[in-house]
A and B are shown apart, each in its own frame.
Chain A
């Protein structure tokens, strides 16, 4: 039976690799996810039913099956119920659950050791246990904080010299883990739980200072942490599929984090130390004058007589669930013979690709979604740019004001268009917490209100013209 289980693990491991490969291309992405899920199914099936002791006789089978069933029901419900806009939070929660599972495995394994202090513990066995505990705990706590930040329950919290304190805490974790190892023969679990407690503190302090806009990067990083924690378990049990899956996610997650940082033109260090927001006062000077408010009727006329319109979607579109009415507006304008495109900033919304997912949901065609590098040259020939709930990604301060916290971030050059209309609920600043000089541009009009309502008004006005 042992061989059958190993074959299941082999299929599982290949499923992960092939699945991840397929997920890298839009056409095959969904299939890739299914392939990876199938691999996971095989691996779990093998563990449950094909253990070396024979079919379906692992002890505590009832508990295991009921925990899996419960997890399946709750997990499916959570994943199905969640709004498209809240996806990032959901991913963060599930990531935290994986980290928690890794930490709990280490706790049980440690109990085993603590009950038998007379048995000598090889370092090679101790390291995966304690590493699984530390990394799993950090990932769990960090993910929960990230979740709280994304849905606005937890604010930023930072103090001077925080990165030094964090580095110090990391050192304390390692020292505590070492003490724990040297005190195994004495029995007791004091140092073990001290290690865990300090890891919890580190998880809190690690994510607290990082601004909400950078959360996707943090989640991606914590994602790779959990992968490493899973790999520790694989090492501990000499379990190939855990090891391969864990390491695969660990490395893929790390590189994904770096790629995402690049898309925002920032280094990973820069995100982690957290520069955004803390000294944003420097950007105030550039902003003066007053914003011009426009009415839906004016905007409708403006668009109707345009020959080229570009829509810039942002988080406001996602919040208002306005993707369908946005597509409707696009269709109406297209019927009038107007060239309509979408300009997609790589970090528009809360996650890279967030806007593509949303607009694809409302059946906007793929070739209408143009990425930043390709659309920026088109703005000077565009008659009307409609900015729907985006802010920081169109803030010219990123190019002109070296003191601005977003300075250096590539932006959409909407200010080069002939007319700009910004759909926004209020003059409130965006996620980076800074003013946007674009709104005071004489070419720019503000259409206040919920993105969905405003777009609906525009649709009606254009129809009635």
Chain B
């Protein structure tokens, strides 16, 4: 029990952050027209590509002689970049089609 309290106490900022972000995420998505579900899923998909930063960190701190970590880290950065770049480009291609519309209209 003591360790749990200590864990919470020492990470309290992160716990606040996580809690708030959960609400922000729910609020942002709750009232979106179904038209946008696919692009939105794709956009969110690109955002979790932020895992790329973790891959950069882990590859960056690997010993240059530790070939296992270098190879795995390299793949990690590569696939992380795929997620980010591919995600944003695909989303942009989908949303490109929503652009030029002469009148506002309903969604």
Contact = CB atoms under 8 A, between A and B. Distances in A.
Interface of A: 12, 16-17, 19-21, 23-27, 29-30, 32-34, 36-37, 40, 43-44, 47-48, 51, 58-61, 63-64, 67-68, 70-72, 74-76, 78-80, 82, 84, 87-88, 90-91, 93-95, 97-98, 100-102, 104-105, 107-109, 111, 123-124, 216, 219-220, 223-224, 226-227, 229-231, 233-256, 259-260, 263, 344, 346, 351-354, 356-358, 360-361, 365-367, 369, 371
Most buried by B among A24, A74, A237: A24
A256 B83 contact: no
Contact of A64 (B28, B45, B77): B77
Contacts of B58: 105, 108-109
Given A16-B50, A60-B64, A248-B21, 17 more contacts: A27-B104, A37-B46, A51-B60, A63-B77, A82-B90, A87-B94, A90-B90, A98-B87, A105-B58, A216-B38, A235-B14, A247-B21, A250-B48, A255-B26, A256-B32, A259-B32, A357-B94
Contact of A249 (B17, B25, B86): B25
Nearest to A237: B57
Contact of A30 (B22, B40, B99): B99
A78 B50 contact: no
A353 B35 contact: yes
7 contacts: A20-B25, A20-B47, A98-B83, A123-B7, A230-B54, A249-B48, A353-B35
Interface in B22-37: 22-26, 28-37
A238 B53 CA distance: 12
A133 B30 CA distance: 30
A260 B52 CA distance: 28
Contacts of B78: 67-68, 70-71, 74
Nearest to A88: B38
Given A78-B86, A90-B86, A17 B24 contact: yes
B12 interface: no
Given A44-B52, A71-B81, A108-B76, A357 B25 contact: no
Contacts of A256: 29, 32, 37, 40-41, 44
B41 A220 contact: yes
Nearest to A48: B56
A424 to B, nearest CB: 24
A64 B48 contact: no
Given A26-B98, A47-B57, A245 B50 contact: yes
A233 B58 CA distance: 10
A187 to B, nearest CB: 16
B48 A30 contact: no
B50 A79 contact: no
Contacts of B36: 23-26, 29, 353
